[in-house]
Structure 1
């Protein structure tokens, strides 16, 4: 067998990724004879390449899927991608601009969407190949897209049901408006930053020439849309002003002075301006007091009528400077103070959002929230780590109506049609031919699309065929675990729980496993502006996918954020090399030694069959149903001698390691599981066991003993390969097949074609040899003590030393019996 001296992932990983695909190893079907284990892959946006966060979460999910597949479950990992409305439309518009092609407006809706689909189909293929290169093992034949036909039908069904139940409504409301994206965005898509700004104290003169009132504001430009000044009803300073009017500077308008308990008497002067169309709190106050709500900024955040003509067309920040300049000229600015306050920024565009009164579609969430709270409270859904339940409860308990409409072209278009004849609104599952109210054919569909999350929140059941009662939905749902970052607990996780309980009556998943987030080595978020991003594909190219997977799992502890530097992937590469070299140590002499032992067995059995070259016939045997020539004698030879202490010790340590790994999987402590395998492989199997057996397999050693030792060591090696496979699938598949080339010649039992289908070691059903653990453990202590003394006395390892044993040493007999091992390991 040709075994390269150096393990090269590039020679191995593409080969097995293609083979898994060709053999359809990960196909899954509803199978009543097996227990399902299902994970819903969080669908990545079809906007381009994957980042290191995807690599982490995919590695965690794939590890869980491969583990349960090997445990005999019908393991289904639902793959797919998200159409990502705002993100995808932005990418396509940018690409068109870079290629100097006509833009969205010039193309028109239909032509622009054709361009979007081209980019989407291209990126879907790229993303799938990236995931394959990482080792992902979903059933790719079941891949879904949030904009495919089945999921689109589910989206419409949900919209219409909720509309018919009165939970979806359309109306004017203050929304978070992104001037850069030209669309409303949800509260969860807004980042709030503490900004050091100014607090301007502006006098609103009295209508009768009196002093009026001074208000404090951080946004003087919005005063152009003020419709009241508000004070606290118990504030004695302004009791005489309530019910009267003041002049609104720069506008020529008069506005009332109203009283409301919302006012904080300690802030500023205790009097505040009310701008109902451009502040969410002012909007609610405006509704309570029946105030006018003039909108004085357009979609680009430029001033528009009914604001004074002098400011129309100015950007909001230009308007601020102009307003302040004019107020200063009129002597109406009393003072200015430095003031730190929170400003909302669009997550995607990084531009300050504008609170904006707009007609949008909304979903009432409060009536849907209580079952979602109860599902976590009563344990039907658990969070791992548990601390993230607090974040979940905080958001769901304070849930607000969800603005579900977006001013985009790419996305699920809102299934509502407006009648030009009677003004009626028709909401329907299928495109209607006419108005449902008057029958007119003069109807037009709403131009807006639904928020991307409105399709994503249906992911756990829409991907399985809902609203139809498909075999897949009945078998795979509810799913078992969702793996996600804490950043989308409210964006996605909570909404999925709400939707699933509402439309299927079931929880979407039983466990939510929250991973940490990836940061750079200094603890900063990775971003293009900082230039500190780490491309997982580059790391795979440099270190190999197994090394990347290993390092990400080891670093992912208890949902803590990961400080990542490319050098951390050397851990995984070093472990892969150690594993490869240990196999080379055993495989090198294996064929020669095993062939010699087979010859000995043939001599004992006396009859080897009709082949002119019986030894070659035995070595070429690939799994015939007939008994292998010489096998009976091989077993007799193995049973003739008792297993050596180191054999019994390593077997027992393997059993205990397998049990620990199983416990760690149950606890979702994958880092601990992998480190247990690492410690067993590196510290015990390689550093102790292989060193101990070297004399038994060296040239000139007894053939029978060498053969039995090698077979046992290779069996242990395969156990390691099986334990490690969910974490490092490529090198373990390679070693499994190479082990099969050796073992297939002498092992009678049939063997699965892939390690992915082999049985996962549990360590159960076999007794641990406690005596062997205790005795070899003592020898380890003894050898360790000798090595420490050597170090203290500066005696080099190559120099032989004499070991003096006290007469009253209780372990003298053990030392004498295992002297060859002690002598070799301690260089005595």
Structure 2
């Protein structure tokens, strides 16, 4: 039995409205769905859903709430406002979705899905204390995928660590003097002749007076700073690695009981710290002040280093040790019976990138320190919202009561969230369902302005997507689909936007010409040049093309309408005698109807109005035309060119009569099986 296709839209967060990225994604989804229904006779459904957004919903609510509302009450108010606005946008853009069922990542149904998933994944979920990424502005842990790297100027502070029972001291450099109180030992490289005599000697912590033993570690970079490293596993991934490399007997000699000095829930140092109730950067200033007052700060110098920043807040991430829950993704993927390489995957992401990501993949920290969202077991932790989003196929099945025996799921996703969402979704959901959860994944790029800059409010390059009628919004959909959607950075183009505007004007003029010109429609038993060319175009560029190429070929439609049909076929009408006028006009009509049928996949309401107008006026059955079109062999235009020498092809698909249109006399292009061949005129 042929399975139906279920298109699961990426769930917009209920923290705002649809943006241009959503419009591109839904336009792409609509085209694929509509084309497969109209031209390939496939059965499809398309469902919309929403993401509860967890922490970010809290942040938005806290800014909007009144004195009478709690944050959670404001979230409920916001959810209604944002959902209604998004549904209005869906309506004005006329996206072909079934809105009778709206999926959601946080309600009674999805709570059951999440709870069952935690039980199923229990063997891959571990609790451990390790360095995590902490966003002090958000007061929560975030995953590696929610961060980015950036070079930044920092300050290196050179500090005196006195050697016990000696007048000497070691000079140790650090960019984080506020973490000195959590130092547990000093490390030097055994190959560094300046310090290899210091093994097992003891230094004094300049802030707390605690004793710190000197050990050897090959991880210490000899020519960075002073070449001596203060080891603080609670605030450094590199230091954590050095500590983990110690033997158990060495670890037993080290006191770490005083190291837990930072409160992740409050986003500040706790009561056991010298910097109680201070933010991370406030504590740095206080630490510098103490060191200066005690004549322990030797000097400071600027240097450039790579820092980790939060994608959401653009603030520097604090690396801090914390007890959290993790999914052992590498184990889950390696033990999986299913592989992404076995599904249909195309767009701007290939298996090479996926394989590289898998090779370097870290455990996924799934716990967060916010108040709104799914609970992890009976702990005080909330789940990362990407966890419930990763169960999207299972949530779909739970909401609809459908089965993967009858449906295969297609996801269209932006490149930027492929590893946040789709990668995890495939492996988690497939493991739980014990069958591949996804059939097909289409990956588009990130929309940028004409100069290649990411669109953001801070850059002032946000594009308005609010239209008052469907005609304008559907034209905007058409424009977005003519862009290079499978490039990782999709640059907007005013030229292409204007081209689409002119294309629709031209198509309106052509349709007006056909409906006002007096002629008798004659059913053509065997198509000749005009409609045969259009049959061939649609067949080669769309029906028989690969899925990826089909989407790319949308950019050819404006040229087909304006240059081939408008500037050539319609212009040729004046050269036809009365005896074949009706035949030629009927050929043009058939061609235009087929093209409008294709336009219906991009601009559904506009296309249907024009299609109904033409078919009703001339009593044409579109199903008969489709059958004729795609049962024919693709014709050879070059043979036709030999038989009727007055015709030639110019440009990509532009046709003209050489004698009558001498302005195109430099080159003659001949089209064979819709591939352009160039012949220089002798």
Fold conserved (TM > 0.5)?
yes
Match of 2:134 in 1: 177
1:101-140 → structure 2 map (5 Å cutoff): 101-102=67-68, 107=70, 112-140=71-99
Asked whether the 8 Å contact 1:649–1:773 carries over to 2, the reply is no
1:366 positional shift = 2.3
For 1:777 and 1:219, the matched residues in 2 are separated by: 80
Match of 2:603 in 1: 728
1:284-323 → structure 2 map (5 Å cutoff): 284-287=241-244, 288=246, 290=251, 291=254, 292=256, 294-299=259-264, 300-308=266-274, 311-323=275-287
Q: Which moved more, 1:64-73 or 1:518-527?
A: 518-527
1:541 positional shift = 5.7
Q: Please point out which of 290, 294, 297 is paired with 1:326.
A: 290
For 1:258 and 1:664, the matched residues in 2 are separated by: 68
Q: 1:471 to 1:52 in 2, by over 3 A?
A: closer
User: Is 1:359 matched up with 2:362?
Assistant: no
For 1:525 and 1:136, the matched residues in 2 are separated by: 25
Q: 1:535 to 1:761 in 2, by over 3 A?
A: farther
Match of 1:281 in 2: 238
Match of 2:146 in 1: 189
Partner-residue secondary structure (3-state), 1:463 = helix
Q: 1:664 to 1:751 in 2, by over 3 A?
A: closer
User: Is 1:403 matched up with 2:362?
Assistant: no
User: Is 1:763 matched up with 2:638?
Assistant: no
1:573 positional shift = 1.7
1:707 positional shift = 4.4
Match of 1:669 in 2: 549
User: Is 1:559 matched up with 2:490?
Assistant: no
Match of 1:89 in 2: 58
Match of 1:743 in 2: 618
Q: 1:358 to 1:718 in 2, by over 3 A?
A: same
For 2:289 and 2:26, the matched residues in 1 are separated by: 55
Asked whether the 8 Å contact 1:655–1:763 carries over to 2, the reply is yes
Q: Which moved more, 1:199-208 or 1:358-367?
A: 358-367
User: Is 1:412 matched up with 2:374?
Assistant: yes
1:66 positional shift = 0.4
1:3-402 → structure 2 map (5 Å cutoff): 32=1, 34-70=2-38, 71-96=40-65, 100-102=66-68, 107=70, 112-163=71-122, 165=123, 167-287=124-244, 288=246, 290=251, 291=254, 292=256, 294-299=259-264, 300-308=266-274, 311-370=275-334, 375-376=339-340, 379-385=341-347, 388-402=350-364
Partner-residue secondary structure (3-state), 2:45 = strand
The gaps in structure 1 that reach 5 residues or longer are 1-31, 417-445, 598-633, 753-757, 793-828
Q: Please point out which of 501, 511, 518 is paired with 1:573.
A: 501
For 2:664 and 2:180, the matched residues in 1 are separated by: 83
Q: Which has the higher helix share?
A: 1
User: Is 1:713 matched up with 2:588?
Assistant: yes
1:761 positional shift = 8.3
Structure number with bigger Rg: 1
Q: Please point out which of 474, 496, 503 is paired with 2:405.
A: 474
Q: 1:172 to 1:74 in 2, by over 3 A?
A: same
Asked whether the 8 Å contact 1:228–1:274 carries over to 2, the reply is yes
Asked whether the 8 Å contact 1:201–1:215 carries over to 2, the reply is yes
For 2:283 and 2:571, the matched residues in 1 are separated by: 79
1:457 positional shift = 0.8
1:718 positional shift = 0.9
For 1:654 and 1:750, the matched residues in 2 are separated by: 14
For 2:634 and 2:360, the matched residues in 1 are separated by: 54
Q: Please point out which of 465, 468, 489 is paired with 2:398.
A: 465
For 1:584 and 1:366, the matched residues in 2 are separated by: 61
1:566 positional shift = 5.5
For 1:760 and 1:196, the matched residues in 2 are separated by: 67
Q: Which moved more, 1:37-46 or 1:291-300?
A: 291-300
Deviations 1:202-235 (A, max 9, x none): 2211111242322221111211221211123443
Asked whether the 8 Å contact 2:658–2:664 carries over to 1, the reply is no
Match of 2:561 in 1: 681
1:543 positional shift = 7.4
For 1:247 and 1:356, the matched residues in 2 are separated by: 23
The gaps in structure 2 that reach 5 residues or longer are 650-655, 667-682
Deviations 1:313-370 (A, max 9, x none): 3332232223223323433333333211122222212222222222322222221022
Q: 1:346 to 1:249 in 2, by over 3 A?
A: same
Partner-residue secondary structure (3-state), 1:257 = strand
Q: Which has the higher strand share?
A: 2
1:516 positional shift = 1.6
Q: 1:710 to 1:567 in 2, by over 3 A?
A: closer
Match of 2:386 in 1: 453
For 1:694 and 1:765, the matched residues in 2 are separated by: 29
Asked whether the 8 Å contact 1:176–1:353 carries over to 2, the reply is yes
User: Is 1:536 matched up with 2:489?
Assistant: no
* Matched residue count: 649
Match of 1:801 in 2: none
**TM-score, normalised via structure 2 length:** 0.87
Asked whether the 8 Å contact 1:56–1:549 carries over to 2, the reply is yes
Deviations 1:172-192 (A, max 9, x none): 332212221121111111222
**TM-score, normalised via structure 1 length:** 0.73
Q: 1:676 to 1:526 in 2, by over 3 A?
A: closer
Match of 1:429 in 2: none
Asked whether the 8 Å contact 2:483–2:496 carries over to 1, the reply is no
For 1:485 and 1:246, the matched residues in 2 are separated by: 53
For 1:44 and 1:738, the matched residues in 2 are separated by: 36
User: Is 1:588 matched up with 2:588?
Assistant: no
Asked whether the 8 Å contact 1:576–1:731 carries over to 2, the reply is no
Partner-residue secondary structure (3-state), 1:473 = coil
1:777 positional shift = 6.1
For 1:304 and 1:282, the matched residues in 2 are separated by: 22
For 2:68 and 2:206, the matched residues in 1 are separated by: 45
Partner-residue secondary structure (3-state), 2:133 = strand
Asked whether the 8 Å contact 2:343–2:438 carries over to 1, the reply is yes
For 1:777 and 1:651, the matched residues in 2 are separated by: 18
